[in-house]
């Protein structure tokens, strides 16, 4: 399989290789976002939805907790990105 991939890649021109690399980077980023979204969902759900679900809607306390949990998660991600960018500079 590896030989097939190597020989197939060697036949691509530079533009196609660049396009493939961009596509793969985008797919990796999409996968990373999906993973983080899944973690966020699990974490906030476990923290905020503590009772059995009886209705099709969350109660007010659960809804507020989930909104705050998501906000804190996003704030932390932004702070982390800012800190990492400052470290690079």
Give the model confidence (pLDDT) of 47-84 as tens digits. Answer: 999 878 777 888 899 999 999 999 998 898 899 989 88
What angle do helix axes 60-88 and 14-48 make, rounded to 10 degrees?
140
- 69 is in which domain, residue-wise? 5-88
For 17-47, how does the pLDDT look when each residue is reduced to its tens digit (9 = 90+)?
Answer: 888 889 998 899 899 889 988 998 999 999 9
Which pair of tokens denotes residue 52?
A: 């059995």
Instruction: Decide: 47 and 65 in contact? Cβ < 8 Å.
Output: yes
Query: Domain with 75 in it: what CATH number?
Result: 1.10.287.810
Cβ contacts of residue 48 below 8 Å, gap of 6+?
62, 65, 66, 69
Domain count, the chain: 1
């Amino acid at each position: 399989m590896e030989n097939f991939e190597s020989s197939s890649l060697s036949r691509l021109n530079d533009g196609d290789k660049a396009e493939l690399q961009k596509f793969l980077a985008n797919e990796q980023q999409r996968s990373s976002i999906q993973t983080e979204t899944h973690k966020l969902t699990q974490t906030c759900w476990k923290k905020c939805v503590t009772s059995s679900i009886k209705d099709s809607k969350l109660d007010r306390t659960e809804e507020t907790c989930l909104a705050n949990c998501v906000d804190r998660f996003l704030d932390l991600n932004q702070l982390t990105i800012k800190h990492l960018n400052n470290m690079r500079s």
